[in-house]
Copies of this chain bind each other. A is one copy, B any other.
Amino acid sequence: MPTLRLALAQINPTVGDLEQNSNLIIEYIEEAETLGADVVAFPELAVTGYPPEDLLLKPHFVSDNVSAAQKIAKSTGHITAIYGFAEPVKDKLYNSAAVTNNQEMVDTYQKVHLPNYGVFDEKRYFEEGSNFPVYDLNGVRFGINVCEDIWFSSGPTNVQSNNGASLIININGSPFNLGKRKERENVLIERSRDNGVYIAYINMVGGQDELVFDGGSLVVGPTGNILMRADQFKEHLYIYDFELPKFQKSSALEESIGSKNISLPQEKKEFKSIPCPTTKTIDQNEEIFQALVLGTRDYVKKCGFSKVLIALSGGIDSSLVAAIAVEALGPENVVGISLPSRFSSSGSKTDAKTLANNLNIKMDAIEIEEIFQVFERSLTDQFNGTMWGVAEENIQSRIRGNLMMALSNKFGFLLLTTGNKSEMAVGYATIYGDMAGGFSVIKDLPKMMVYEICHHINEKYGTDRIPDAILTKPPSAELRSDQKDSDTLPEYEILDAILEKYIEQDLGIEEILKDGFEANIVIQILKLVDLNEYKRRQSAPGIKITSKNFGRDRRMPISNKYRPY
């Protein structure tokens, strides 16, 4: 049987950086060629980075991306390279895979199924393709398609298989969320089994604003057997040697509307075998941790920063963010600031110190008491006769925000903000206060998951990176005497369960109540979620972890009087 050596280039491009991305692609093409690959495949929109969003509405960007794609084509020698770019055809734009060979762009495949849900807006930019080409190379026939295309049972994969392809190369920009890896594998298993074809699934890796692409490229055999799993969260070139049936023309082959066959000229050379990569997977907590680390590292670096600042309260959220930042950037690039007030417990101060010691990061302390007193004095006339309350709590948080931003502005360090998803959901955070910052690392992590990941980190490193005291004390914002989160919120176990149903599952109150929660608690929570949309709209972006994050994924109106409870 003929063999085909495929290189799966699981790369980490940067949105908009056409020059760096094309150089990266060219380097990997050369490496693949050196390794004797017949074909090297890159992710969806590898040239532009994914998602390029409204850059695609700039005609000069599209034209620069075409030049970059052409430059890459010129660099291909005796290898067939496949890489995603934005292809303008007359007044339309396609999400295409370039097929290049011998210094030439031989063909393009135009994505057919354009996702326009969740975080995806592809119908804003692209037209749907309607061609289903297959390619002949050294006696082997294969098809190419892009991301979403493989999710449809009667889509391009089906047509291309019916047209004689024994291998489908599917290129992706598929972002991570919990359970996504398994979901992808299930689709690929079904698709390969139904069509009796091999599928090579090449995914992007890297962080882009809210999204983390987790890589995890795959090869699946025609019986639905997983032959290769690439690492997640790691840029790397993987080699897989296929033994494929020799393609023979037969009258039984379906020549579907829009299908076209192209022969790629290439000389077959012999290379020594390369060991097949891992088929191991990592567990869910490690997936989350690595997503947070990569998402943080890439946001910091792709935005041109090298160091970050974190306000360390001695609480679990800021401790986790610090641990993630240290893993992402190294301890020398993380600075903690403790900002105690009259309401900070002595435990909080020592806990923050212990954490900083454990993580080996620099920590400074700035007391906010004096500033707070001057604020209170300045507002004496206005606040005269009112009760001490939320306004005074928020002043403290905003003093901290101001100090942190002053340090950020002065030294050019990026301020990381530390709120978790449960808080973001119910608005248990001070806008312009603890919400101030450029990147909100654990914004999509419900509080119970925050605990889990902290324990995971401590287990992973075999030491108490996150001090036990931090893990066990009751959560508190410490903005008034003896304050506890549980004064105004239900236990996080209950809160998180309700939030998951309301936000991620979009269930209504009747359905949520079926699970036996107390009605008044559910009503309180739903009200808080709806009321606090305005805060979330002004919050920093953070890493998508769940199936629905606050951001591009959930587009709720602020002026919204739907209150069916």
Cβ of A561: which chain B residues have Cβ within 8 Å of it?
A: 14-17, 20, 302
* Bound Cα distance from A367 to B375, whole angstroms: 10
Cβ of A559: which chain B residues have Cβ within 8 Å of it?
A: 14-15, 207-209, 298-299, 302-303
Cβ of A462 under 8 Å from chain B:
no
* Bound Cα distance from A389 to B406, whole angstroms: 10
- A540 smallest CB distance to B (angstroms): 6
Chain A 257-288 interface residues, beta-carbon cutoff 8 Å to B: none
- A554 smallest CB distance to B (angstroms): 6
* Bound Cα distance from A508 to B57, whole angstroms: 11
Cβ of A438: which chain B residues have Cβ within 8 Å of it?
A: 534
* Bound Cα distance from A207 to B558, whole angstroms: 12
Partner-contacting stretch, out of A70-78, A341-349, A390-398: A390-398
Answer whether A409 and B382 are a contact pair too, CB < 8 Å, given A15-B561, A438-B534, A555-B54.
no
Whether A557 lies near B52 (C-beta < 8 A) is: yes
Cβ of A121 under 8 Å from chain B:
yes
Most buried by B among A17, A366, A555: A555
Cβ of A405 under 8 Å from chain B:
yes
- A56 smallest CB distance to B (angstroms): 10
* Bound Cα distance from A534 to B539, whole angstroms: 11
Cβ of A298: which chain B residues have Cβ within 8 Å of it?
A: 559
Whether B374 lies near A378 (C-beta < 8 A) is: no
Chain A 336-354 interface residues, beta-carbon cutoff 8 Å to B: none
* Bound Cα distance from A531 to B117, whole angstroms: 28
Please give me the residue from chain B that is nearest to A17 by CB atom. B561
Cβ of A563: which chain B residues have Cβ within 8 Å of it?
A: 16
Cβ of A403 under 8 Å from chain B:
yes
Answer whether A562 and B407 are a contact pair too, CB < 8 Å, given A124-B117, A402-B399, A432-B432.
no
Partner-contacting stretch, out of A27-35, A59-67, A95-103, A140-148: A59-67
Cβ of A378: which chain B residues have Cβ within 8 Å of it?
A: 366-368, 370-371, 403
* Bound Cα distance from A371 to B399, whole angstroms: 10
Cβ of A452 under 8 Å from chain B:
no
Cβ of A514 under 8 Å from chain B:
no
Cβ of A537 under 8 Å from chain B:
yes
Cβ of A156 under 8 Å from chain B:
no
Cβ of A106 under 8 Å from chain B:
no
**Residue in B374, B554, B562 whose CB lies within 8 Å of A16:** B562
Whether B410 lies near A59 (C-beta < 8 A) is: no
* Bound Cα distance from A210 to B401, whole angstroms: 27
**Residue in B18, B209, B537, B564 whose CB lies within 8 Å of A562:** B18
Please give me the residue from chain B that is nearest to A554 by CB atom. B54
Cβ of A306 under 8 Å from chain B:
no
Whether A16 lies near B55 (C-beta < 8 A) is: no
Whether A557 lies near B60 (C-beta < 8 A) is: no
Whether B370 lies near A557 (C-beta < 8 A) is: no
Whether A406 lies near B402 (C-beta < 8 A) is: no
Please give me the residue from chain B that is nearest to A63 by CB atom. B508
Cβ of A520 under 8 Å from chain B:
no
Cβ of A560 under 8 Å from chain B:
yes
* Bound Cα distance from A17 to B124, whole angstroms: 29
Cβ of A507: which chain B residues have Cβ within 8 Å of it?
A: 60
Whether A208 lies near B121 (C-beta < 8 A) is: no
Please give me the residue from chain B that is nearest to A409 by CB atom. B391
Whether B395 lies near A406 (C-beta < 8 A) is: yes
Whether B562 lies near A17 (C-beta < 8 A) is: yes
Can you report 30 A-B residue pairs in the complex whose CB atoms are below 8 A from each other? A14-B559, A15-B562, A17-B562, A53-B556, A54-B556, A55-B560, A60-B509, A60-B511, A116-B124, A121-B555, A208-B557, A298-B559, A302-B561, A303-B534, A303-B559, A364-B381, A366-B378, A367-B378, A368-B378, A370-B374, A375-B403, A391-B406, A391-B407, A391-B409, A392-B406, A394-B406, A394-B409, A395-B406, A398-B406, A431-B436
17 additional contacts (CB under 8 A) given A378-B403, A383-B410: A17-B562, A53-B556, A54-B554, A57-B506, A299-B559, A303-B558, A366-B378, A371-B374, A386-B410, A394-B406, A398-B398, A398-B402, A398-B405, A398-B432, A402-B402, A405-B432, A432-B436
Give the 4 A-B residue pairs with the shortest CB-CB distance, closest first: A16-B562, A60-B508, A17-B561, A391-B409
